[in-house]
Amino acid sequence: MPTTCIRNAASIIAWDATNKRHAYLNGGDVAFTGDSLTYVGRHYDGTTDTIIDGTGLMVMPGLIDLHSHPSTEPFYRGVREEHGVPAMYMSGLYERSVALQPDATARRAGKQVAFCEMLLTGITSVADLSGIDEGWIDTAAQSGLRVFLAPSYASARWHLENGWALQYRWDETAGRHGLDAALALIEQATSHPSGRLSGIISPAQIDTCTTDLLRDSFAAAEARDLPITVHCAQSVNEFLVMVDRHGKSPVQFARDLGILSPRTVLGHAMFIDEHSWVRWHTRTDLRTLVDTGTHVAHCPSPFARYGHTLEDFGRYTRAGVNLGIGTDVAPHNVIEEMRLAAILARVAARDITTTSIGALFHAATVGGADALGRSDLGRLTPGAKADLVLVDLGNPWMRPVRDPLRSLVFTAAERAIRTVFVHGAKVMEQGRVLTLDHQAALAGVVEGQQRMLRDAPNRDWAGRTAEQISPLSLPTLA
């Protein structure tokens, strides 16, 4: 297999195995053979087939998007950013999920657009929480990304008959069939010859799945040694529903059901029993997450748009919770999520020292990898997968380069990303995705959004148009 060496990189974010943390290595080489790293250090003197001049570059591990919905979120551009329902604690999640849904034809284009955004922003691995659409495996393989397919299913769907009360339409047979179909698709994905596809068991939400379906999903994950993810503690509405049903918080319900473990990733876990918005009488959820080894996928953007925030990132990590970073919405940009997470944590804690960019970068790389059970991802060390990103330190948005990671997160973001490798293959170069037709996919999303918006009155409880549900930010002159 051919060997590539990035020679004389100005800076390398290397893995310090002794201290289990990332550290700067200034002036060094990174070599990989096939799909794996073989050297990270001062000077590589082995055989090399291809040399990349690392002058003026920073080499860092690829980012891990631990929670994403790429088949739907691109369609909500210009729709969801300021869409909230005051009577549902400002969240627009339930109204939008019912009234505004892209069709099957559009969703494939949406996934391609999202995958392109990920590659352009330095994401190399993604947990893709989607419904089962035709061609999903082929699209994931073609993208060049490392995709953890998480086909979601549920025993119920959200339903609205007014603008304040969340209701459910139950179909337990559909949930059971969904689990069976998910297991079949995951088996097909893991055997794909690309070697980049894997699976996650994904019962959709803690409030839309029966106890039997959740238990059986966890048993399936254990039997197959797979991660399991479920949306949990993601809204005040959900918290109140679970208290009404079971007299306990969503996290406590999951604990008592026996589905919290080191293979479990909770989507969001924001509204735990001590969050100021729920004012519950217990204070056990955070300790439960630590004691069970449960991971959390933190996605600040969608909730910040509603005025919600985790309380707070630094407090979770100090308690011992492992957090990864997810995008959950468009844009699919983990760098921006790191920046926002840091700022919101300081606001929520009223303490600038509650967390740091180093801690957020750990979450966006090693934290996500650990949640997925993959010690070979998220770090630059021999034996890890050759998933890496080259950052241009000469980019105007990076200069002056005193602290390259801080400059990347707070100032430059994706504008400074030059090249992305996944599994040892180059998949993005100089702002151009090499694996997918980004422009064609965008055209498909534009057409799909138009169909979605036209169909809104047929789905909305009040028969409203998309413009009534989500008005434009400015009036249109006649």
Question: What does the pLDDT look like over 389-398, one tens digit per residue?
Answer: 999 999 999 9
Residues 18-50: pLDDT tens digits? Answer: 999 999 999 999 999 999 999 999 999 999 999
Query: 92 is written with which tokens?
Result: 């627009």
- Does position 78 have pLDDT exceeding 90, yes or no? yes
Of the pLDDT bands very low, low, confident and very high (cuts 50, 70, 90), residue 284 is: very high
The pLDDT > 90 percentage for the chain reads 100
- Does position 339 have pLDDT exceeding 90, yes or no? yes
Q: What angle do CA 404, 405, 407 make, to 5 degrees?
A: 65
Residues 357-367: pLDDT tens digits? Answer: 999 999 999 99
Give me the domains of the chain, ranges plus CATH numbers: 3-61+382-433 (2.30.40.10), 63-371 (3.20.20.140)
Residues 364-415: pLDDT tens digits? Answer: 999 999 999 999 999 999 999 999 999 999 999 999 999 999 999 999 999 9
Q: What is the mean pLDDT of the chain?
A: 97
Of the pLDDT bands very low, low, confident and very high (cuts 50, 70, 90), residue 74 is: very high
d(CA 472, CA 466): 10
- Does position 290 have pLDDT exceeding 90, yes or no? yes
The pLDDT > 70 percentage for the chain reads 100
pLDDT of residue 164: 94
pLDDT of residue 158: 96
Can you tell me the mean pLDDT for 126-151?
A: 97
pLDDT of residue 478: 87
Can you tell me the mean pLDDT for 101-128?
A: 97
